[in-house]
Amino acid sequence: MSDEIEDYLNWKLAGRIDRRDFLKLGVSAAGIALVAACGGSNTVGPTGPTGPEFKLGVVLPYSGVYAELGNSITNGMRMYFDSVGNQAGNRKITVVTADEQVALADAVAATKKVVEQDGVDMVAGYVSSPNAAGNRNYLDGLKMPTLIANAGVNSLSRAAKSPFIYRTSFSNWQPSHPMGTYVAEKLGKKKIQLVYAKYGAGLEAVAAFKETFTGSGGTIVGPDVATPFPNNGDQTPFVQAIQTDKIDGIYCFMSGTDAVTFLKKAAELGTLKKLGLVSGAGFFVEQDVLAAITDAAPDGAITGLHWALPLANKENQDFVSKYSKKFSGRQADVFAVQGFDTARVIVEALNAVKGNTTNKDAFMTAIAGVSFKSPRGDFKFDATTNNVVQTIYVRKTVKDPKLGWTNQVIDQYPGVADPGK
């Protein structure tokens, strides 16, 4: 099998293939084989791009706690690249994927595979904070243009910032910092217990919440409920450690299957009903989690995030309906939006440099200058942090007659930028 066909199949198999896509696979793979057989891997025909192929290495989890997040980001990227005919700056865009998995050693191996074996021009991806941080020096040392499509580790916008690494998602500080003020001042809840997956992202998210919450007169009631990351075991002792009789509510950071198993257990043990407030960074009750837990969802949970399914702007309405059509009724989620926006940044930057990426500084300057109207609202990079500046929406979990379980927007903090230190 040629490398081109293998890459194509990897890409397709990483996402969810609907029937129509699957039927198209044979035709497209045959087309690629024909081009390869003619020795034309740099051209795709008389009307296609004539410049050299642009190879993008996508490192995302397709297994483990964050597999659903990786699938959604991949789908979002695929959707944007398809919308521009998989080309930009007169170059055909080819995607090669590698499984980030969970542990850093696997994420490092995946990065080296796309860089050293596949010879990519650029890297995008990383869901987990330690995996983004742990690959930072390698990518920076190679001057490899890189876009972080999820991992929120604060240091990448601060002391460990690199001129070759920009982030299209969020810093862990961003969704949680405004929520401390919101919970204490707007909701008047003053006694909160912290619940989080015990690793970099969880610790940074609750620290950002705590800063503004205590600054607004709130009290953190200890001890924290810190679960192993990932927690592949029983969540019962952690749910039982929530002191429902001493607190007004909880503030949580969990995502992926950690959030799914925790919320299912909390519903089963009746803990959710005893809490005056379930709050957190929005990943805890994002659409991927709600789809998995359905009626175990915490009704009325208040969370902060840079997107919500029902956002009324035109770009979002368009995105949500096209995404669901393309992926067999699957609902969009914040991770799909991040994938879509990441692909758009790549396409717009390639167009801006007319496909010339040999001058990496110029290519990074083009990336830094990309701004557009995203499904999440206005998207632009902050020159101080290489991170996106965005609105943080305050959302309330509801069962909507049309959308099912989702997060209604009840308030917002526009223009939230990581402080950079």
Query: What is the C-alpha separation between 170 and 198, in angstroms, rounded?
Result: 19
Q: CA angle, corner 282, sides to 281 and 284, nearest 5?
A: 85
- The structure tokens 């909701």 sit at 187
Q: In the complex, what is the shortest distance from the CB of residue 63 to ligand BEZ, in angstroms, rounded to a whole number?
A: 15
Please give the structure tokens belonging to residue 290. Answer: 């709600």
Decide if 360 contacts 145 (C-beta within 8 A). yes
| CB-nearer residue toward ligand BEZ: 89 or 180 | 180
Give residues 378-407 in contact with ligand BEZ (rule: CB under 6 A).
none
Residue 283 CB, nearest distance to ligand BEZ (Å)? Answer: 4
Query: In whole angstroms, how far apart are CA 303 and each of 106, 231, 247?
Result: 31, 22, 18
Under the binding rule (CB under 6 A), the answer on residue 254 touching ligand BEZ is: no
| Residues 6 or more apart whose Cβ sits within 8 Å of residue 417 | 382, 384, 385, 387, 389
Q: Is 75 in the site for ligand BEZ (CB under 6 A)?
A: no
* Residue 201 in the binding site for ligand BEZ (CB under 6 A): yes
Q: How far is CA 375 from the centre of its chain?
A: 14
Q: Is 151 in the site for ligand BEZ (CB under 6 A)?
A: yes
Number of residues engaging ligand BEZ in binding (CB under 6 A): 11
Distance CA 326, CA 307 (A): 20
Least gap, CB of 129 to ligand BEZ (angstroms): 4
Cα distance between residue 59 and residue 14, in whole Å: 11
Residue 355: which region, alpha, beta or left (left: phi > 0; alpha: psi -120 to 50)? left
357 or 385: CB nearest ligand BEZ: 385
- Residue range at the interface with ligand BEZ (CB under 6 A); choices 3-11, 22-30, 149-157, 240-248: 149-157
**Largest alpha-carbon pair distance within the chain?**
72
Residue 233 Cβ, how far from ligand BEZ at the closest point, in Å?
19
Which segment (31-39, 148-156, 207-215, 306-314) binds ligand BEZ by CB under 6 A?
A: 148-156
Residue 334 near ligand BEZ by CB under 6 A: no
Contacting ligand BEZ (CB under 6 A), which of 77, 127, 239, 266?
127
CA distance 173 to 301: 20
Is residue 260 near ligand BEZ by the rule CB under 6 A? no
Contacts to ligand BEZ by CB under 6 A = 66, 127-129, 151-153, 172, 201, 255, 283
